[in-house]
Amino acid sequence: MKDFFDLAKERFSCRSYDPTPLTDDEINKLLSAAKLAPTACNRQPFTLLVVRGESLKKIQNCAWLYGAPLAIVVCTNESEAWQRKYDRQNFAVVDGAIVMTHMLLQAADMGLGSCFIGAIKTDLLTEALEIKEPLRAQFIMVAGHMASDVKPDKLHFERKDLKDQVIYLN
């Protein structure tokens, strides 16, 4: 296991993959990382749809998959999620994003490429995978072995200065 800071620094959105499928053990390790993700009040309001093989063809028009051999659709259930009382803010999407982050970092720790796909056509995805209420597709993580020539996008290295993002209150 890598030092967390180094792992977070090295991870990037991979947009080119070797077509070799991931093993069941590799996939299960990604899913196990998701299971460990903290969620508001430990409600765990998520369901993960593992899409691979021929099933990937069903969702090719729903999101950009970059030729990855695996897509994991993060679905959430708002009725199971914690809701803040004073303003009724539902944490389903936040919880789903935390789950996604755990899988992205686990993929990096395993030497795999991954990409968080938020630009999804939820109506087409819901129909293609027959996602039923109360589940709602939120994001897709694509993952796989990186293509030999893949490099981080130049935007990966652009970071705002901490002084522009942090306010200390003493």
Q: What is the dihedral of CA 145, 150, 48, 6, to 10 degrees?
A: 90
Q: pLDDT (tens digit, 9 = 90+) per residue, 51-107?
A: 999 999 999 999 999 999 999 999 999 999 999 999 999 999 999 999 999 999 999
Q: What is the per-residue pLDDT across 123-149, written as a single tens digit (0 to 9) for each?
A: 999 999 999 999 999 999 999 999 999
Domains of the chain, residue spans: 4-164
Contact 142, 115 (CB under 8 A): yes
b/e burial code for range 6-45 (CB count within 10 A of at least 16 → b): eeeeebbbbbbbeeeebeeebbebbeebbeebebbeeebb
User: In the CATH scheme, what is the homologous superfamily, with its name and number, of domain 4-164?
Assistant: NADH Oxidase (3.40.109.10)
pLDDT at 49 over 80: yes
pLDDT score for 60: 96
What is the rounded CA–CA span in Å between residue 161 and residue 151?
A: 23
How does residue 155 score in pLDDT terms, banded at 50, 70 and 90? confident
Q: How confident is the model at residue 122 (pLDDT cuts 50, 70, 90)?
A: very high
pLDDT at 1 over 70: no
